[in-house]
Amino acid sequence: MSRQFVSIVGARPQFVKVAPLCRAFAAPAYRDSVEHLIVHTGQHYDAAMSQVFFDELEIPRPAVDLGIGSGSHGAQTGRMLERIEQLLLERRPDLVVVYGDTNSTLAGALAAAKLQIPVTHVEAGLRSFNRVMPEEINRIVADHTADQLLAPTHTAVRNLEAENLAAKSLFSGDIMRDAVLFNVELSRQKSKILDRLSLAERSYGVVTLHRAENTDGPGLLALLETLNLIATDRLPLIFPVHPRTARRLQDEHGEWQANPRLRLIEPLSYLDMMQLLANARIALTDSGGLQKEAFFLDCPCVTLRNETEWLETVQGGGNIVAGVKADDILAAVSHSFDKFGDEVPDFSAAANQEFGAGDAADITAQAICQFVRGNQ
């Protein structure tokens, strides 16, 4: 008897996470018994932010693109709820899979739960303990709504236990580790980004900024000036500018000038970004996903936030949570340079211990099938 599973995705990191599960369900063990459909909410609707992933990462095209687009949290989530509910009523899948902590995650979990359709939350149990972050609210609600919680780390398992969710939790390892190990090899074959930007290995750093708390307000200008200082005194920085950040620069900080060694470029495809990160000397970011990717690729990271969901990257020696004050960021960069010098660090042992050995997609596929069999 064939089972139908629907994966709800809508943002860049979720496209990356769904790819290993697609490959797992395409294996002979599941090929004839599982129908796995991808539903794209359209939360990231720019081709540079979404379509290219399906091309590059060999992910099956979404069965449905809801085309929701941007908007306030309430408006966007409301439109998603309406459209996902309609879709689920038409399809009646055996289970819905949601990923991470976006509005697509929240809407998918709520819509399915209200229709009594089982929900699996991949990347469950993450906590920053900062409820100012919209992502924190999404994580908590998704975890308490879902029927099966697949935790990527042992810390996430403990967080779920503390919230009395142990009975429906399982340590799966991190599906992003599967993705990075697979995609870095793909990027070496396909990406020419170093040649295009005339970069030598480990001669530059990578910057990303996109979170509202960093881009929406006066703090953005202070961060940009700090990046100018690092580019001037330490090493050139490559800064693929997120659309949110680009809008703020244009609308509110048009007078600001980047140092010539701080290179602002258009958003990159995933494989180009993977190759850029794999060969960087340091990453400075407010992205949760990029913190992990840097760790998995042996690139030291400085996190431009006051907290992280990925304490394992800090404990493993690959990440410094610097906050957003200039002195703290500069000190973190100096510490990283002093610690690693010209050597390429190796975080692989800590990554394997804390995030799994790259078999999370297989564990996830098995867990989902066993859960459905046990509940029907």
What amino acid positions are annotated as catalytic residues?
Answer: 210
Q: What gap in Å lies between CA 232 and CA 261, rounded to an integer? A: 7
Spatial separation of the C-alpha atoms in residues 287 and 210, rounded to whole Å: 7
- Assigned token pair, 317: 């020696």
Q: Token pair 């496209």 is at which residue?
A: 15
* Residues recorded for the chain: 376
Residues 301 and 317: beta-carbon distance below 8 Å = no
Backbone angles phi and psi of 292, in degrees to 5: -70, -45
- Tell me phi and psi for residue 320, to 5 degrees: -120, 125
E strand or H helix at 130: none
- Partnered with residue 285 across adjacent β-strands are 208, 303
Q: How far is CA 25 from CA 29, 35, 124, 218, in A?
A: 8, 8, 20, 46
How far apart CA 139 and CA 122 sit, in angstroms, is 11
Token match 């900024």: residue?
209
Question: For residue 320, what are the CA distances in angstroms to 186, 252, 264?
Answer: 28, 29, 24
Residue 358 in tokens: 């790259």
Task: State residue 345 phi and psi, 5-degree precision.
Answer: -70, 165
Query: What contacts 23, CB < 8 A, 6 or more positions away?
Result: 182, 361
